[in-house]
Amino acid sequence: MNSAALFSKTPPVKLFFLASLPGAVSMLASALYQTIDGIFVGQFLGETAFAALNLAMPFVIINFALADLIGVGSAVPISVSLGKRQGQEANNIFSCAVLLIVGAGVLVGALLYALAPALMALMGAEGEFAALAVQYLRVYALCSPVTTIIFAMDNYLRICGYLRISMALNVMMSAVVMAVEYLFLGVLGFGIWAAALATCLGMMLCVALALVPFLRKKTVLRFCRPRFRARMVRQIVACGSPNFLNNIAGRITSILMNFLLVRMGGETAVSVYGILMYAEGFIQPLLYGMCDSLQPAVGYNWGAGRFSRVRAIERCCFAASAVVSLLSAAAIALAPEFLTRLFVADAAPGVLALSVGALRLFALTYLTRWFSFAAQSYMLAVEKPLPASLISVCTALVFPVLLLLLFSSWGLTGIWLNFAGTSALAGLLAGGVLLRERKQLARPDEPVKDGTEETERPPAR
343 found inside a domain? yes
459 found inside a domain? no
Pairwise CA distance, residues 288 & 367, whole Å: 16
Strand partners, 449: 454
Pairwise CA distance, residues 106 & 108, whole Å: 6
Cβ neighbours for 355, distance < 8 A, ≥ 6 positions apart: 272, 275, 336, 339, 340, 344, 347
Cβ neighbours for 5, distance < 8 A, ≥ 6 positions apart: none
398 found inside a domain? yes
218 found inside a domain? yes
456 found inside a domain? no
Provide the whole-model pTM. Answer: 0.67
Note the pLDDT of residue 81. 87
Q: Is-contact 96 227, C-beta < 8 A?
A: yes
Pairwise CA distance, residues 244 & 280, whole Å: 18
Helices (H), 10-86: 12-40, 47-83
**Which helix (H) or strand (E) is 449 found in, with range?**
strand 448-450
- For 394, the 3-state DSSP assignment is helix
Short-list 387, 418, 381, CA closest to 402:
418
Pairwise CA distance, residues 348 & 341, whole Å: 10
CA distances from 319 to 276, 326, 384 (A): 25, 11, 21
Q: Is-contact 392 249, C-beta < 8 A?
A: yes
Angle at 193 between CA 188 and CA 195, to 5 degrees: 65
Pairwise CA distance, residues 56 & 98, whole Å: 27
Greatest Cα-to-Cα distance within the chain, rounded to the nearest angstrom:
73
Provide the number of structural domains found in the chain.
1
Angle at 129 between CA 127 and CA 135, to 5 degrees: 100
Cβ neighbours for 387, distance < 8 A, ≥ 6 positions apart: 379, 433, 436, 437
3-state helix vs strand vs coil in the chain, percent to 5: 85, 0, 15
Strand partners, 454: 449
CA terminus-to-terminus distance, the chain: 18
Backbone dihedral region of 451: left (phi > 0), alpha (psi from -120 to 50 degrees) or beta?
left
Q: What is the dihedral of CA 197, 200, 202, 203, to 10 degrees?
A: 180
Pairwise CA distance, residues 288 & 311, whole Å: 18
Residue-wise pLDDT tens for the chain (461 aa)? 555 667 767 777 777 777 777 767 777 776 777 778 888 998 899 888 988 998 898 888 888 888 888 988 898 889 888 878 888 999 999 999 999 999 999 999 999 999 999 999 988 888 899 999 999 999 999 999 999 998 888 889 888 878 788 888 888 888 899 999 999 999 999 999 999 999 999 999 999 999 998 988 888 888 999 999 998 998 888 888 777 877 777 778 888 888 888 888 877 888 888 888 888 877 887 787 777 777 777 777 777 777 778 788 888 888 888 998 999 999 999 999 888 887 776 777 878 888 999 999 999 999 999 899 888 888 877 767 788 888 888 988 899 999 999 988 898 899 999 999 999 999 999 999 888 877 655 555 554 444 333 333 333 33
Pairwise CA distance, residues 134 & 144, whole Å: 15
Pairwise CA distance, residues 161 & 156, whole Å: 9
**Which helix (H) or strand (E) is 298 found in, with range?**
helix 230-303
Strand partners, 448: 455
Pairwise CA distance, residues 251 & 269, whole Å: 17
Q: Is-contact 138 198, C-beta < 8 A?
A: no
Pairwise CA distance, residues 275 & 252, whole Å: 18
271 found inside a domain? yes
280 found inside a domain? yes
Pairwise CA distance, residues 322 & 291, whole Å: 12
Q: Compute φ and ψ for 162, nearest 5 degrees.
A: -90, 60
Note the pLDDT of residue 458. 34
Q: Is-contact 385 239, C-beta < 8 A?
A: yes
Domain that holds residue 292: 3-444
Pairwise CA distance, residues 224 & 195, whole Å: 37
Distance of CA 297 to the CA centre of its chain: 19
232 found inside a domain? yes
